[in-house]
Structure 1
Amino acid sequence: MPNRPRSVFRILLCIASFVLLEIGVAWGASALAVAWYRNKYGIPVQEDLSNDMGLGMVLMFSVLPVLFVAIPFSLWGSFKVARKVLP
């Protein structure tokens, strides 16, 4: 099997996919938490969600410490996989 050159694009694509996945998980978690909070306390959902942005931002920043742990491990794992896959 011939040696393939290392592709920087593949490595960056792998890193970007992990980072986007982590951001999407945090965003989805904050949206679910806002919906749960509104449902639990009987607060009606507003058509204009600008007031929910404050609560969503608080929840997002409470999830960010998890992201600061998850993203480096994701990057480490993607580099480890990329080193095995790419010669």
Structure 2
Amino acid sequence: CNGMSGALDPRIQQEIVERDLYATAVLSGNRNFDGRIHPQAKQAFLASPPLVVAYALAGTVRFDIEQDVLAVVDGREIRLKDLWPADEEIDAIV
């Protein structure tokens, strides 16, 4: 992985610039300096690959991965624990 995210949607980039937002990246690489992922990403946090996936699914780092609802499907609240494999399932793959 070269650490680059590619182009941002122009509307998102415009919001970042106009509102002086701190766009944040969560990555599993080993470098987290400003601009590593994208020139507009002012912050980068290193995390384990599963945690990166969790925040990607949530779409925000302002997400309590143990409690917050990811989505509501057919009236049912879906949390990360509903999607996450059990330790036994992971061990069976390895």
TM class by shorter chain equals: under 0.3
TM (norm. structure 1) is 0.25
Structure possessing the higher relative contact order (Cα contacts under 8 Å, 6 or more residues apart) = 1
Q: Which has the higher strand share?
A: 2
- Larger Rg: 1 or 2? 1
